[in-house]
Amino acid sequence: MSILQILKYPNPNLRQQAKTVEKFDQNLKLTIDDMLETMKDAKGIGLAATQVDIHSRIIVIDLSEDYSDPQIFINPEMSIVDKTLSAYTEGCLSIPGVQENIERPSVVIITASDANGDIFKAEYTGLMATCIQHEIDHLNGKLFVDYLSPLKRQLIRKKMKKSKAN
């Protein structure tokens, strides 16, 4: 397993649309392992392939304290069950040092494939619902700062450029 480099905002590659995964092969499993390792190393709770410059629809999430509960979502499709919004303070491994309160629908149903290509469907609430929406946004080239005002986003952009994290 290897630790991959995480793209930092405002790297333009973070805006790419990720493509549907067609082959559930050994290569995919290696990518998933590397993503899990990278997320753990960066102490994150979720990582989308887009963030490591791989433009395929792959997401890994682990909300456990000790990284004992890895969850894999390939080609996730989302439907909103409850439009009531929940607010969470969100952060992103691609925008280090920035945390903002973001409101998102509180209950979602996700249909996705696991690493073997087997399709599953599950309902998510709370932090998990927020996290998966944040990660699906990444696959569509969207970042949580896009929900903020243009002025606030501009300030974050300047701060990121100054820190030379890119």
Q: Kindly list the residues in this chain that would bind Ni ion in the complex (CB under 5 A).
A: 92
- Give whichever of 21 and 92 is closer to Ni ion, judged by the CB atom: 92
The alpha carbons of the chain give a radius of gyration, in whole angstroms, of 15
C-alpha torsion sign, points 7, 9, 10, 13: positive
- Give whichever of 90 and 113 is closer to Ni ion, judged by the CB atom: 90
Taking the complex as a whole, the smallest distance from the CB of residue 53 to Ni ion amounts, in Å, to: 14
- Give whichever of 70 and 117 is closer to Ni ion, judged by the CB atom: 70
Taking the complex as a whole, the smallest distance from the CB of residue 118 to Ni ion amounts, in Å, to: 26
102 by DSSP, 3-state: which? strand
CB 138 within 8 A of CB 50: yes
Taking the complex as a whole, the smallest distance from the CB of residue 117 to Ni ion amounts, in Å, to: 25
CB 129 within 8 A of CB 106: yes
Question: Which has the closest alpha carbon to 108: 122, 88, 118, 120?
Answer: 122
Taking the complex as a whole, the smallest distance from the CB of residue 25 to Ni ion amounts, in Å, to: 26
Task: Tell me, yes or no, if 65 is annotated catalytic.
Answer: no
- Give whichever of 24 and 54 is closer to Ni ion, judged by the CB atom: 54
Which residue among 65, 100, 103, 135 is the active-site one? 135
C-alpha torsion sign, points 150, 78, 23, 120: positive
Residues serving a catalytic function are: 135
